[in-house]
């Protein structure tokens, strides 16, 4: 069976919610989790085995500067919910990022005659898949 192209999700319909408030100015969100793996060499086994270790969540949210919302949040922990809801997809997906902490705050970054963009890199300490997309 071939892929139904209409089911491919477009980021156009992505939404960012910070502490429950929709941030209409953000048009990009990336979040990922990396896991540390411990290598184990076992006697009588020619394969290197792996044991899962600590996880690290990192991400970036960016878009247009509209308010001082992110500056007011400061370095206090908050929650982000990512929502993808393309009307032609099999449904929508929501992922909650827990204990989000910004890495840095953008205090000023502007050029006359250009729109001001805002980018915040962050770490997080857990996630929850709230609504999965299923075919």
pLDDT, one tens digit per residue, over 60-82 is 999 999 999 999 999 999 999 99
Mean local confidence (pLDDT), 104-121: 95
Taking Cα atoms as reference points, which of 75, 73, 67, 64 lies closest to residue 28? 64
pLDDT band at 6 (very low <50, low <70, confident <90, very high): confident
Q: Which residue has the tokens 């960012």?
A: 16
In degrees and rounded to multiples of 5, residue 14 shows phi and psi of -70, 145
Beta-carbon contacts of residue 22 (< 8 Å; ≥ 6 apart): 15, 16
Alpha helices in 38-100, H assignment, sequence order = 69-73
Q: What is the pTM of this model?
A: 0.88
In this prediction, residue 99 carries a pLDDT of 98
pLDDT band for 8, please (50, 70, 90 cuts): confident
Confidence (pLDDT) at 88: 81
């Amino acid at each position: 069976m071939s892929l139904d192209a209409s089911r491919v999700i477009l980021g156009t319909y992505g939404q960012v919610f910070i502490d429950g408030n929709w941030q209409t100015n953000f048009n990009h969100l990336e979040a990922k989790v990396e896991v540390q793996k411990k290598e184990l060499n076992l006697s009588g086994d020619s394969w290197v085995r792996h044991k899962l270790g600590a996880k690290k969540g990192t991400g970036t949210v960016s878009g247009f500067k509209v308010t001082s919302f992110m500056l007011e949040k400061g370095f206090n922990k908050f929650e982000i919910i990512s929502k993808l809801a393309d009307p032609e997809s099999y449904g929508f997906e929501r992922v909650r990022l827990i204990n989000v902490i910004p890495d840095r705050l953008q205090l000023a970054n502007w050029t006359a005659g250009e729109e001001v963009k805002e980018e915040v890199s962050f770490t997080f300490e857990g996630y929850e898949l709230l609504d999965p997309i299923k075919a």
